[in-house]
Amino acid sequence: MTVHFPFQNTYAALPANFFARVAPTPVAAPRLIKLNRPLAVQLGLDPDLLETPEGAEILAGKRLPEGADPIAMAYAGHQFGQFVPQLGDGRAILLGEVIDRDGVRRDIQLKGSGPTPFSRRGDGRAALGPVLREYIVSEAMFALGIPTTRSLAAVITGEHVIRETALPGAVLTRVAASHVRVGTFQFFAARGDTDGVRALADHVIARHYPEIAKADRPYHALLEGVVARQAELVARWLLIGFIHGVMNTDNTSISGETIDYGPCAFMDDYNPAQVYSSIDEMGRYAYGNQPRIALWNLTRLAECLLPLFSDDQEKAVEQAQFILGDFSEKFSAAYAAGLRRKIGLFTERDGDEALIEGFLDAMAKNQADFTLTFRRLGDAALDASADENVRAQFMDPTAFDEWAKRWRERLAIEPQTPSERQSAMHAVNPAFIPRNHRVEAVIAAATNDDNYAPFEELLTVLSKPYDDQPQYAAYAAPPLPDQRVLQTFCGT
């Protein structure tokens, strides 16, 4: 039987300047490393057929499935604050779209599938390490409940790519609600192509915000919708200690999904100024800067939409500023509500913000592990004898003691039982995250030894991040001093 993809191609039906038609470049000897079988079923695909040699060839770009209309999407973007008028998919090709079992349209895209007209002298290929990193982290984010692109498959190509050295080549099959970015709008706005901006906005409304199609001011409503989704998304990043690493406008999804897992990382010790990305020398995309940068990126989107708001420039700017003004309030509300849940509060009272800030401040000053401290706080909510496990995260344990007294006084006001509170806290405070040292160890085993057992085991652990999983307890531990990963890399 032939692998069947029930493709539709609505993006490829847009005007020709939205993309370049280009086929993936065949590779020598594709071998399937990993197929996400549950996701394949969700997409209406046959996982058994995808695991055949023919399936591997399709997932590597060596064979084009029937119904595909492969394109590389055009976009621009601000990269570390500097505008680049033409970027585009330099190593990714969109095969087409499928409607999943929930009726949601999903892009299926190959990353590392060869050069495109947007490659800018690059080889269009991907090394194995970045492919495994994106697979691991995107699927971990999904399990954590964070809106994200997903990984359907990873295939090794049988060829090497040259970076600092020769590395095994690989292709990732990425699934997304769409790949439209803030930078996609910027591509047309930078050229003064208002018709292009309008056509793109209409496409995005139909695909992602159909409820606003008949609104009195649909383009204003579009900006409102994107602002709301980004505010919620970035709040959720902070609540699990995630650092995107490269929040350029071309990495900001209009659908509200986390997209592009390059030098991303999860914090170990809590530090608002934490940066891992090797290319973020000024700390622009540090953990605590992410809300500010999200608003900056949304302001760039608003600039693109101004001609659709009003012919009166001054009026259009005023309307955009009013909508953008909602971001901080929406972010703060989502973040504060999430933090209350993390420390076991079910209601909102005066003094809660100061209580939470006091805890975060003590964690920062005492280099407390972000994930473990909150997880173990749930156990302390059940039984004060578990305080010792939280205290152990602080260089000066008395910093926790002082805070814990005020925390328990606050908990006493609420009617929940200790076991109810622990369950609620454990449901939002993961035990397991993709620790940087664990991800690097998996990549090293695969790249150096062609050993994917550590990769498979890490995926198993991360698929249930909120469960205790005592057999995998070691995966919850922070890195030892000699295991710390201080820098992560883009992978291009």
> Mind telling me the catalytic residues?
250
> Which residues on adjacent β-strands are paired with residue 155?
32, 171
Query: Are residues 287 and 269 in contact, defined by beta-carbon separation less than 8 angstroms?
Result: no
Contacts 24+ apart (CB under 8 A), 163-170: 163/127, 167/127, 167/128, 167/129, 167/447, 168/127, 168/128, 168/446, 168/447, 169/27, 169/112, 169/125, 169/126, 169/127, 169/128, 170/33, 170/112, 170/126, 170/127, 170/128, 170/131, 170/132
Tally of CB atoms within 10 A around 104: 12
- What secondary structure does DSSP assign to 219-286, as a single string? HHHHHHHHHHHHHHHHHHHHHTTEE-S---GGG-BTTS-B---SS-EE-SB--TT---BTT-TT-TT-
Query: Are residues 491 and 137 in contact, defined by beta-carbon separation less than 8 angstroms?
Result: no
All residues at 6 or more sequence positions from 6 whose CB lies less than 8 Å from its CB, including other chains: 44, 67, 98, 99
Collapse the DSSP code of 182 into the 3-class scheme (helix H, G, I; strand E, B; otherwise coil) and give the result.
Answer: helix
Query: Are residues 18 and 80 in contact, defined by beta-carbon separation less than 8 angstroms?
Result: no
**What's the number of CA atoms in the CB half-sphere (13 Å) around residue 39?**
21
